[in-house]
Amino acid sequence: MSEKQNIRTLSKDELTALFIEKGEKAFRAKQVYEWLWKKGVTSFDEMTNLSFDLREMLKADFVFNAVEIAEKQVSSDRTIKNAFKLYDGKITEGVLIPTPNRMTACISSQVGCSLACAFCATGKLDRLRNIDAEEIFDQVVLIKNQAEEHYNTPLSNIVYMGMGEPLLNYKNVLRSIEMITSPEGLGMSPKRITVSTAGIAKMIKQLGDDEVKFNLALSLHAATDAKRSEIMPINESNSLAALSEALIYFHEKTGSRVTFEYIIFKDFNDSLEDAKDLANFAKIVPCKINIIEYNPIDDAQFQKADSEKTDKFAAFLENTFNLIVNVRRSRGKDIDAACGQLANKNKAAK
């Protein structure tokens, strides 16, 4: 017995050819494609405008490899953290972050992570595999449904800031964004999507060559090579000079402003001298800077910077260097859903 094929790996043209081969009308492919991507269904029984026989035929040949919510936690600040179960039993995580002005899905691109950043819970897990494009898409649909069911508000933004390094799963990440933004898919604006990278210079240049329309964020966290290499091993092979060159190239190709993410740690990168280093690096391209409160994880050597010092750091960047700066206060800390905490308590991903 041959193994069933994942139906969401087929293009619309391939679906059309399949239906014609089976003696079905070509427009059936359009109907199925719409169910898959515009309506985001994950079973053939939901395709109610298809005949019973046609649905049974599809069931015999195809599977969905759908993502399920294995566990859900709701924070006191309304943040919702999900443990997503993939078709092979592996677990990844995603978060719905509601704020007064937006409803954001934070989604994962890998099961675990290989980058081993010193401050991140996910970095302490092994990378088990890349997440397929349709599995990334499913995370968005599931969180979108939560936003509507829990808060009666549509999803407004998507950030690829969950588990894993998106640019190490380049093909699947771009395919998922294609279906999220396509009029034949969810139809979201690419300007409402941000892909966050720890900094892989050659892949940032590839984003430029592909002239992507979504936003790019660089997880910087330190603006000297010495400090950055201390907390982010990837900096050894992707220095600040290499990243600077790649970001300039990316901006020239896309015209997009870059976001710099900067987790501020007590007595490590929170001085005004650190702020100067950050400003000097950031000014290479039009940008905005997100200063992020640190969220402690198990066995980590870092502490949250003082709030007063954080505010002075941000004000110094704004007033002295005329930079756009936002201080991101932590959300979902009580359920380990804050930045850097994914998988802090959930060992199922191992």
Catalytic (active-site) positions = 93, 339
Is the C-alpha dihedral spanning 225, 231, 236, 238 positive or negative?
negative
Query: Is the distance from CB of 183 to CB of 218 less than 8 angstroms?
Result: no
Query: Is the distance from CB of 242 to CB of 201 less than 8 angstroms?
Result: yes
CA 278, CA 273: separation in Å to the nearest integer?
9
State the burial class of residue 99 (Cβ atoms within 10 Å of its Cβ: 0-12, 13-18, 19+).
middle
Of 328, 342, 296, the C-alpha closest to 119 is 296
Nearest 5°: phi and psi at 266? -65, 125
Query: What does the block give as tokens for 176?
Result: 């998922």
DSSP assignment of 127-176 equals P-EEPPHHHHHHHHHHHHHHHHHHHS----EEEE-SSS-GGGGHHHHHHH
Q: How far is CA 234 from the centre of its chain?
A: 19
CA 344, CA 164: separation in Å to the nearest integer?
14
- Tell me how far CA of residue 288 lies from CA of 303, 317, 319, 322, 325, in angstroms: 24, 11, 14, 10, 6
DSSP assignment of 321-337 equals H--EEEEE---SGGGT-
Of 193, 108, 107, 196, the C-alpha closest to 157 is 193
Q: Is 43 helix (H, G, I), strand (E, B) or coil?
A: coil
DSSP run (H or E) holding 93: strand 91-98
Of 12, 37, 18, 294, the C-alpha closest to 187 is 37
